Amino acid sequence: MTMPAEEDFYPSRIDAGETITARRDPVVHGAGTACSEASAALLSRYENNGFFQLDDLFGAREVAEFQEEAERLRSARTLARRNEVIVEPESNSVRSIFDVPCFSDVFDQLARDARLVNWARALLGDEVYLHQSRLNYKPGFSGKEFYWHSDFETWHVEDGMPRMRAVSMSIALTENRASNGPVMLIPGSHRHYVSCAGLTPEKHYERSLRRQEYGVPSTTGLETLLGDREIAVVTGQAGSVLVFDCNTMHGSAGNITPYARTNLFLVYNAVSNALRRPYSGQEPRPEFIARRTGIEPLIPRAATRV
């Protein structure tokens, strides 16, 4: 049952123009005790920058299995007309597949992998569940951009996520090169909340999953967040994992190279931060976008690197 919204600590899209305010939640909620790999250096990097990268977390055989499974899902005719499959605005090319564990035992097991779940527990200081999952495809020459945004702003306004106590993990299933549309982030942006202008249209998700137009910062807001910092362009071999705070401003350019870029996004939310009514006052988005029922802590699954 969806709980009513409490005090809105992060109002946005209330037609009052764009504002930038200080974050009201901790960044690292735990102390790394749930993850033996949680080094002080990485925790400090996450605290200060809002992200860090884990290289070579998965072995070659694991990565090959993930790649094969991602391609199987992309070409599966049984998924072609499902709502979970999002196509590009100008074509029928698959842009994203949501709720991936629902269609794949491989990715269901991956979402429960202790190498990921324990990091989420360490950062969030709580038991966690899978809030959202999606495969993002950027085929060579035609993969489209994802404009700058804070995931939390959307999850708060459109889904009813109360506080900044969620973490995203982007697993590179292909090499993420500087040229093929890798994730870009603004270091330190997680410490500020951008309240975006405008009012959210009804059923905004039907358009925003293909091209987001609301809940995005202005160019002035982006320049303010960036200041004198350098944009971080995250590259890495297949099997590397980008771990970033739910409020870190990020985006990616289109892919006009021959090199396909496919990433799996897994979003872990603290059990204590389960969704309430959307703060927009609108109907909740579908479960395949934002999990709100059957919430149970994930039990980390031990895995042997192969």
Summarize pLDDT for 60-75 with one digit per residue, the tens: 999 999 999 999 999 9
| Contacts for 262 with CB less than 8 Å, ≥ 6 apart | 67, 70, 135, 136, 137, 138, 173, 174
| Residues paired with residue 22 on neighbouring β-strands, in sequence order | 192
Question: pLDDT tens, 152-184?
Answer: 999 999 999 999 999 999 999 999 999 999 999
**pLDDT for 8:** 94
**pLDDT for 212:** 57
Domain map (residue ranges) of the chain? 19-273
Over residues 251-269, the mean pLDDT reads 96
Question: pLDDT tens, 83-95?
Answer: 999 887 777 788 8
What's the predicted TM-score (pTM) here?
0.92
And the tokens for 91?
């074509």
The fold for domain 19-273 equals: Jelly Rolls (2.60.120)
pLDDT exceeds 70 at position 276: yes
Task: Give the Cα separation of 21 and 17 in Å (integer).
Answer: 13
pLDDT band at 42 (very low <50, low <70, confident <90, very high): very high
Could you tell me which residue, 44 or 89, shows the higher pLDDT? 44
| Contacts for 268 with CB less than 8 Å, ≥ 6 apart | 116, 117, 120, 124, 128, 129, 130, 131, 166, 167, 168, 169, 298
Over residues 192-198, the mean pLDDT reads 92
E runs forming strands in the chain: 19-22, 51-54, 85-87, 94-98, 128-138, 146-149, 166-172, 183-185, 192-195, 232-233, 241-245, 250-252, 261-270
Question: pLDDT tens, 284-294?
Answer: 999 999 999 99
**pLDDT for 210:** 47
